[in-house]
Each structure stands twice: as C-alpha cells, then as structure tokens.
Structure 1
Amino acid sequence: MRSLRQLFLEEELIRLVIRLGLLALLITWTFVLIRPFGTILAWALVLAVAFNPIFVRLAKILGGRPKLAAGLLTGVNLAILIGPAAWLGVGAVEGIKDFAGQLIAGEFRIPSPPEAVKNWPLIGSALYEFWDEASSNIRLVLRQVTPYLKPIAGMLLGFAGDAGIGAIKFLLSVAVAGFMLPFGRLLVAAGRGFLSRIVPEQSEHFLDLAGATIRAVAQGVIGIAVIQALLAGIGFKLAGIPIAGLLAFIVLLLSIVQIGAAVVMLPVILWIWTAKDVTTAALLTLFLIVVGLLDNVLKPLLMGRGLTTPTLVILVGVIGGTLAHGIVGLFVGPIVLSVAWELTVAWIATDRSGPIRNTADR
C-alpha cells in the first residue's frame, strides 16, 4: 500500500503536468493568433526606431507634444505610401506580371537598336553593331533557357499577387509605428529589462547596438534605396518608359543589396538619347545622374557609424525575407538579419575579450 507521501507527490506531479500543459496551450494559441501580425509588428518597430530621432525633434518644435508629432509624422508617411509609392507600386506590379507572362509564353526578347544610333558622332556606328549583335545573341540564348525560367515566372506572379496584401501591411505598419512613437521610452525600458535577463552584463550595449543597426540599415540602406527608386521612377515616367514602375523596383532591389542603380540607369539614359530630342534627353540624363549619385551624398549623413554588416548578409536577408513574408519581408529581412549578425559578432567579441565598448565608440 502506497504511503500518503507518495500519493501527495503523485498529485503534485499531476497538477504540475496540467499547469505546464495549460501554459503550453496558452503560448501556442497566442502564437497562432499573433502570427499573421508578426511582419506588421516587426516593420512597425523598425519604423518607430528609425523615425525616433525625427519624432523627438518634431515634438520639441511643437512645444513638447509627442502625440501631435506622432500624428503628423504618421500622416506624412501614409501620404507618401498612398501617393507616389502606390503610383510606382502599381506600375511595378503590372511590369512584373507582363515580364512573367512573356517568360511563360517564351516571347521575352531584347529590342534591336534604333537606326538613329548609327548617326551618333564618334561612337554611333560601333555602338549600333555591338547592340545589334548583343541583342541577337541574347535572344538566341533566351530561346534556349526559356523553359527553365518558367518556375521563376511563377514565383514572380506569386510575388505580384502578394502586392495587394503587402500594401495593406505597409499601411498598418505605419499606423502601428505612429502609436509606438510616443511610448518610445517605455519600449526601450521593456527591451532593456528583457535583455538584462538574457545577457545581464551587456544588456545596455546590445540594446544600443541593435538600435544603431536598425537605424543604419533602415535609413542608410533601405531609406536611401526607397528615395532613389521613387525619384528614378519619376524620371522614368517623365521619359515615357512603358515599364517605369518595374525599372524603379529593380533600382530599389539593386540599391538595397549595394550593387547600385547604374546597372539600370545607363541603359535607360542610352534609350532616352535614342527616343528624345537633345534638350529633353540632356535634362533627363542630368536628373537620372543626380539620382544615381544620391547615395554617395546621403549615406554619410544618415549612417553616422557606418554599416559593418557584410553585403552578403543583406542580400540573404532580402531573398529570405521576400520568400518568407512577401513584399514586406523584402524590407524586414535585411534589417532583422543585420541586427542578428551585429549582435552575434558582439557576443563573440565579448566572450573572447570581455566587456566591449559602447556603440558610440565603434
């Protein structure tokens, strides 16, 4: 016959199992409920961190009114999203759909050079021959590889189909970020308390490092890429390019992964000189050159400590974020991966050499 102590221990064990089961059920259920909003909250947090310096200055200008400053900043961001960003976004989606359709149908081709190129001084004849030969060769290659590109076309169509949901997520993220801005100090305190339980000796440094990395990538990489893409898209529209939205989207991608917009700008400028009069071509060329060099001016201003994250990490973040979360992941992915990279490097440095210096010293 079992003793009373054994019965008591069995009852306690049963209670413990029930409590742990209920806790696991609660955690799982909570995760299922908030999972659809994960990317929205992540992008909202990124926006809140990135715009916090502007928010603080604006609140001081408005006489210490944080809610009014947050409302104005949110209104401006929503106006940009609903206005020029939506205008170019619709064009990009249509361009992606057309491009995917051409890949599926096997009709994609590189246009032949206009006859007017032959009349250009000095380089006209040589450029025409090079362009014509390249067009013919590329067309032949594309015919051979088109069957293998159809899966890519399907992925592009899926990405374009996700654009509508992505736009809604963007709008919700901006609105949520606006609500977060006035509570920045509370959020920082909560983050500090969370990190103090994980890395008590380096919680302050890791929090500063995470914030600095988010601002560096959000402002100095993604922010500049968005500005360049918007301005480039406006230039492409003024030039009358049919796929202006798609080209602007490509500029966005190339700028985020640090390749630069010149890959798109040079062919566009070349096309402009074949299709427009001299005055119009000169003005558009000057505008696009300024847009292409914009990152050289803005990066020193927006990236105070510089970006130490390797380009490969950002590229993987762009690809992985897009595949996992669609268009919002295109922006969230490189930021999350950059923060993870910087914190991992800092953690390894801490283990090797003890406490490391503050972010301001890096």
Structure 2
Amino acid sequence: MNQPHKRYDLARLMFGILFIAILILACFWVIQPFILGFAWAGMVVIATWPLLLRVQKLTWGRRAPAVIIMTLLLVLLFVLPFSLVINSIVDNSGTLVNWLSKPENWHIPTLTWIENIPMVGDGLLATWQSMTADGGKKLVASVQPYAGASATWFVSQVAHVGRFMLHGTLMVVFSAILYSKGEAVATGIRHFALRLAAERGESAVILAGQAIRGVALGVVVTALVQALLGGIGLAVAGIHYATLLTVLMFICCLAQIGPSLILGAAVIWLYWTGDNTWGTALLVWGCLVTSLDNVLRPMLIRMGADLPLLLILSGVIGGLLAFGMIGLFIGPVVLAVSYRLMTAWINEVPQPLPAIPDVSEEI
C-alpha cells in the first residue's frame, strides 16, 4: 500500500527562514559595538582561567576577591600601558613635530669610533664622511621633510586609537563578568556545541580553548618577558624615558616586530652621544633579548597547543591590518582555532596509501 507523500508548505518554510535571518541580523546590529570587546575578553579569560583559580585558592576560595585582583591585573597589563603611550605622544606631539621641522636641530656626528671596527672600519668611515660633507646639509635636507611628515602622520593616527581604548575598556568589563560567571558560561557554550554538532561540537570547543591558551602563552608572555628585560637594559644604560620605551617595546613585541627597533635606536643614541661603553653593553644585551623569542615562544606555544609559528605571525600581522591594534590579539587566535579544527576534521579519516607504482616499470 502506497503511503501519501508528506507535503511541505514552501511559503511557510521560506517566511520562517527569512524571519530567523532578520532576527539574527537585528541581534548582530544591536551587539555590533560590543563584539570585538567581548571576543577579546573571552580570549583573555580562557587564557588566564588557571591563574584565576590559583588566585582564588590564595583568597581562601572566595571568587569575588580573585575577580577583583584579576581585573586589576588586566588594567595594569593592557589598558594602562597603552594609555601611557597615547598620553605621552599627544602631550609631546607638538614639540616633536616642531623639533623635526627645524633643520638647525639636526647635527651630524663625526662617528670616528667606526674606524676602530676591524676590517671594515676604514671603508665605513670614508663612506660616512663623504655622505656628511659640507656639514651634512644635503643629507639633512633630504631626510628632514620625510622625518617631519612621518612624525605628523604618526601623531594623526592617535585619533583612531580611541576605538582601541573603547574596546579595551569593554574587554575589562566583560572579563570581570566572565571571571565571576565562568563555569556557567562554559557550560552554556558546551551545551550549545552539543546541540549543534553533538560530541564533535564539544570537542571543537575544547580544541578552541587549547588554541587560545597556546597563543596567549606564546605571544603575550613572550612579549612581556622581552619588554621587561629590554626595559631593564635601557634603565641600566641610563636611557631617558625608559618606562615609556618599555611600553613601546611591549607593543612592538606584540606586533611581532620585536624589541630590536627600540633597543637599536637606543644603541645608536648612545654611540651618537659618545657613550661607547654603554652602547656596546646595550648592543650585546639587545641581541640576547631579541633572540629570546626563538627559544621562549615555541616552548610556550607548545605548552598550550602545538601551533606553527608561521600561523601565529600571519595572524598577528593580518589581524593588525584587519582590525587595528585589537587584531594583535584576535587575529592569531582566529587562525589558531581554525587550524586546530581543520586538522582535527582531517585526522578523522586515515591517511591515503602510498601511490601504487606503475606495473610496467616493475616488469
């Protein structure tokens, strides 16, 4: 006996899907200003959750004091350094631009110490003397317009940093909420993943957490260690504004530029002012600090998740270009999570067999 085919109301299905799509877009529109801040907060909380549990043990098992301590640490680590840099740039922007715009402020050093460099010192000194002939007026005149324009452009970008500060503030607020309700939020996310893709969905959530923790350990902790060691070297060498330069170094390390930009400029300044002893000492210390990421970063990343360094570098640079300064944190996490999920999906099937050789060749 043939059973009648079940008939579907096509118009009802289409209008239902359209209503759901409109509802999703409306929700996205409403929460759009908070998405990046909340995503940043989620990554920070996931990466620092073990630290929160340790702090909670030290506070006699009470969650509220631990949340307050962790929130203050976030402010000291993320919000305060960027605020110091921005305020310093804004306060000194006029003086910097005026100084760079006046040719009389540019003085070319003799750099006679270059002659003491073995094998290449004489040639380097002769080249420098030829470039700075006639008091270096030609060199100063060619560099000064670019330096002034570069400084003006850099200062103008500070206006766009307000967006980053807004997301940083939202990150701190959302982090405090997630710290206090972390278990309930984690259970809700796992429940949603189970409803969406059963056990596979829950495994994806766990892999995502491991990837986030690996990026945080590898990128942020390495940048913090390099910046602190580099700042110690600047302070010992007697460089002015060592605290501000340390913060700039931390930002450069997060952007995967490394501490060499700040330390190299400090070394050049010491040699420029004739302090060759401290210049050489800071040069050696800078080489050690710069090479530290080749050892520390891979070790820390593998503690959280085994991720390629090229993936982290691409995520940092791509995130910076796509989302601005906040992309330094979001970019590598997005690529790391996607990489881990794709790898887990591929590994669900066995690897292909080796290619079968041509029978005619064996004969």
Q: In 1, Cα distance between the equivalents of 2:184 and 2:52?
A: 15
Q: Residue 219 of structure 2 contacts residue 254 of structure 2 at CA under 8 Å; is this kept in 1?
A: yes
Change (3 A) 1:100 1:221: farther
Question: Deviation of residue 307 (structure 1)?
Answer: 5.6
Aligned position for 1:38: 35
Question: Deviation of residue 166 (structure 1)?
Answer: 0.7
Q: Which runs of 5+ in 2 are unaligned?
A: 1-6, 353-363
Query: Letter of the aligned partner of 2:48 in structure 1?
Result: F
2:316 corresponds, among 318, 326, 334, to: 318
Change (3 A) 1:187 1:271: same
Choose 209-218 or 124-133, whichever is displaced more.
Answer: 124-133
Aligned position for 1:55: 52
Q: In 2, Cα distance between the equivalents of 1:205 and 1:84?
A: 36
Aligned position for 1:272: 270
1:230-251 residue CA offsets vs partner (Å, 9 max, x unmatched): 6546755875468996896476
Question: Deviation of residue 114 (structure 1)?
Answer: 4.2
2:198 corresponds, among 189, 197, 200, to: 200
Q: Residue 40 of structure 1 contacts residue 172 of structure 1 at CA under 8 Å; is this kept in 2?
A: yes
Question: Deviation of residue 27 (structure 1)?
Answer: 1.6
Query: Letter of the aligned partner of 1:190 in structure 2?
Result: G
Aligned position for 2:355: none
Pair 1:190 & 2:188 matched:
yes
Question: Deviation of residue 348 (structure 1)?
Answer: 1.6
Q: Residue 118 of structure 1 contacts residue 125 of structure 1 at CA under 8 Å; is this kept in 2?
A: yes
The alignment-based identity, stated in percent, is: 29
Aligned position for 2:113: 117
* Cα RMSD, aligned residues only: 4.7
Question: Deviation of residue 69 (structure 1)?
Answer: 0.4
Question: Deviation of residue 292 (structure 1)?
Answer: 3.3
Aligned position for 2:340: 342
Question: Deviation of residue 278 (structure 1)?
Answer: 5.6
1:142-182 residue CA offsets vs partner (Å, 9 max, x unmatched): 979x99xx9x9998667432212212311220221121023
SS in 1 for 2:348: helix
Question: 1:1-362 alignment to 2 at 5 Å?
Answer: 18-91=15-88, 114-118=110-114, 120=116, 122=118, 125-129=122-126, 159-229=157-227, 232=230, 239-240=238-239, 249=248, 252-253=251-252, 256-257=255-256, 260-262=258-260, 264-275=262-273, 277=275, 280-281=278-279, 284=282, 288=286, 291-295=289-293, 298-299=296-297, 302-305=300-303, 308-352=306-350
Q: In 2, Cα distance between the equivalents of 1:352 and 1:93?
A: 58
Q: Residue 44 of structure 1 contacts residue 177 of structure 1 at CA under 8 Å; is this kept in 2?
A: yes
SS in 2 for 1:309: coil
Q: Residue 219 of structure 1 contacts residue 302 of structure 1 at CA under 8 Å; is this kept in 2?
A: yes
1:291-343 residue CA offsets vs partner (Å, 9 max, x unmatched): 43554675477435366433443343233322332211222112212211222
Q: Residue 92 of structure 1 contacts residue 246 of structure 1 at CA under 8 Å; is this kept in 2?
A: no
Question: Deviation of residue 129 (structure 1)?
Answer: 4.3
Query: Letter of the aligned partner of 1:54 in structure 2?
Result: L
Question: Deviation of residue 67 (structure 1)?
Answer: 2.0
Query: Letter of the aligned partner of 1:166 in structure 2?
Result: F
Q: Residue 49 of structure 1 contacts residue 214 of structure 1 at CA under 8 Å; is this kept in 2?
A: yes
1:103-162 residue CA offsets vs partner (Å, 9 max, x unmatched): 9x9x9xx995543534656575455446667999xx99x979x99xx9x99986674322
Q: Residue 224 of structure 1 contacts residue 299 of structure 1 at CA under 8 Å; is this kept in 2?
A: yes
Question: Deviation of residue 55 (structure 1)?
Answer: 0.3
Query: Letter of the aligned partner of 2:61 in structure 1?
Result: G
Structure 2 length normalisation: TM-score? 0.70
Query: Letter of the aligned partner of 2:220 in structure 1?
Result: I
SS in 2 for 1:320: helix
1:46-87 residue CA offsets vs partner (Å, 9 max, x unmatched): 110111010011111111112210111111221344544422
Change (3 A) 1:304 1:20: closer
Question: Deviation of residue 219 (structure 1)?
Answer: 2.0
Question: Deviation of residue 269 (structure 1)?
Answer: 2.2
Question: Deviation of residue 191 (structure 1)?
Answer: 2.5
Change (3 A) 1:318 1:220: closer
Q: In 1, Cα distance between the equivalents of 2:277 and 2:335?
A: 45
Query: Letter of the aligned partner of 1:207 in structure 2?
Result: V
Change (3 A) 1:305 1:80: closer
Change (3 A) 1:157 1:273: closer
Aligned position for 2:358: none
Q: In 1, Cα distance between the equivalents of 2:336 and 2:89?
A: 27
Q: In 2, Cα distance between the equivalents of 1:348 and 1:97?
A: 56
Aligned residues: 337
Q: In 2, Cα distance between the equivalents of 1:345 and 1:134?
A: 55
